[in-house]
Structure 1
Amino acid sequence: MKIIIALICVWATLFLAGCDVKDPIYNTPHPDHGTVPLTTDWSDIGTGLPTPESYTVTATRDGSATAGYTATLTGVTNRLDHLFEPGAYRFCVYNTAEHITVSGTVATVAGASGNVDGAGQFVQEMPGWLFTDVVDATIEKDTKYAVTAVMKQQVRQLTLIIEPTGGSTNRIEHIEGYLSGAASTLDFDNGTHSAPANVELQFTKITEGADAGKYAATVRLLGVAGARQKLNALICYTDDTPKATDLTSDLTMKLAAFNADKRTPLTLGGKVVETPTEAGFGATITDWIPVSGSGTAD
Structure 2
Amino acid sequence: MSNSRGAVVNRISKWHLAGAVAAAVLLAGCDVKDSIYNTSHPDHGTVTLTADWSGIGEGLTAPASYTVKADDYTATVSGATNLLDHLFEPGKYTIYAYNTAEHITVSGTTATVEAAPAPTGQTGTFVRNTPGWLFASVTDAVIEADKEHAYTAMMKQQVRELTLIIEPTGETTGRIESITGTLSGVAASLDIADGTHGAPSSVELQFEKITGGANAGKYAATVRLLGTAGARQELNARLYFTDDSPAAVTLTSDLTTALAAFNADKRTPLTLGGSVVETPTGAGFSATITDWTAGNGDGEDIDANM
Asked if Structure 1 and Structure 2 have the same fold, meaning a TM-score greater than 0.5 normalized by the shorter chain, the answer is yes
Which among 203, 208, 221 is matched to residue 207 of structure 2?
Answer: 203
Work out whether residues 188 and 199 of structure 2, in 8 Å CA contact, stay in contact via their aligned partners in 1. Answer: yes
Q: Report Cα offsets for 1:53-108 as digits up to 9, x if no partner.
A: 11111111xxxxxxx11111111011112222223222110001000001121110
Unaligned runs of 5+ in 2: 1-5
Which among 269, 290, 293 is matched to residue 299 of structure 2?
Answer: 293
- Cα–Cα, structure 1 residues 76 and 283, in superposed 2: closer, same or farther, change >3 Å? same
Q: How does 1:240-255 map to 2 (within 5 A)?
A: 240-255=244-259
Q: How does 1:173-184 map to 2 (within 5 A)?
A: 173-184=177-188
CA positional deviation for 1:271? 0.6
Which among 77, 81, 84 is matched to residue 81 of structure 2?
Answer: 77
- Alignment correspondent of 1:88: 92
TM-score under structure 1 length normalisation: 0.91
Which among 35, 40, 44 is matched to residue 29 of structure 1?
Answer: 40
Q: Report Cα offsets for 1:236-256 as digits up to 9, x if no partner.
A: 001100011111110000000
Indicate whether 1:159 and 2:170 are aligned. Answer: no
Work out whether residues 176 and 240 of structure 2, in 8 Å CA contact, stay in contact via their aligned partners in 1. Answer: yes
TM-score under structure 2 length normalisation: 0.89
Indicate whether 1:58 and 2:69 are aligned. Answer: yes
- Cα–Cα, structure 1 residues 52 and 11, in superposed 2: closer, same or farther, change >3 Å? closer
Query: What is the CA–CA distance in structure 1 between the aligned matches of 2:198 and 2:234, rounded to whole Å?
Result: 16
Residues paired across the two proteins, number: 291
Q: How does 1:258-269 map to 2 (within 5 A)?
A: 258-269=262-273
- Cα–Cα, structure 1 residues 211 and 164, in superposed 2: closer, same or farther, change >3 Å? same
Give the helix-richer structure, 1 or 2.
2
Work out whether residues 246 and 284 of structure 2, in 8 Å CA contact, stay in contact via their aligned partners in 1. Answer: no
Q: Report Cα offsets for 1:15-55 as digits up to 9, x if no partner.
A: 56556645412211222222111110000000000111111
Work out whether residues 66 and 98 of structure 2, in 8 Å CA contact, stay in contact via their aligned partners in 1. Answer: yes
RMSD between superposed Cα atoms in Å: 2.1
CA positional deviation for 1:115? 1.4
Query: What is the CA–CA distance in structure 2 between the aligned matches of 1:129 and 1:84, rounded to whole Å?
Result: 31
Query: What is the CA–CA distance in structure 2 between the aligned matches of 1:77 and 1:103, rounded to whole Å?
Result: 24
- Alignment correspondent of 1:191: 195
- State the identity %: 63
Work out whether residues 250 and 286 of structure 1, in 8 Å CA contact, stay in contact via their aligned partners in 2. Answer: no
- Alignment correspondent of 1:150: 154
Query: What is the CA–CA distance in structure 2 between the aligned matches of 1:245 and 1:103, rounded to whole Å?
Result: 42
Letter in 2 for 1:293: G
- The higher radius of gyration belongs to 2
Work out whether residues 241 and 248 of structure 2, in 8 Å CA contact, stay in contact via their aligned partners in 1. Answer: yes
Indicate whether 1:271 and 2:275 are aligned. Answer: yes
Unaligned runs of 5+ in 1: 61-67
Q: Report Cα offsets for 1:141-190 as digits up to 9, x if no partner.
A: 21111121100000000000000011111111100010000000011211
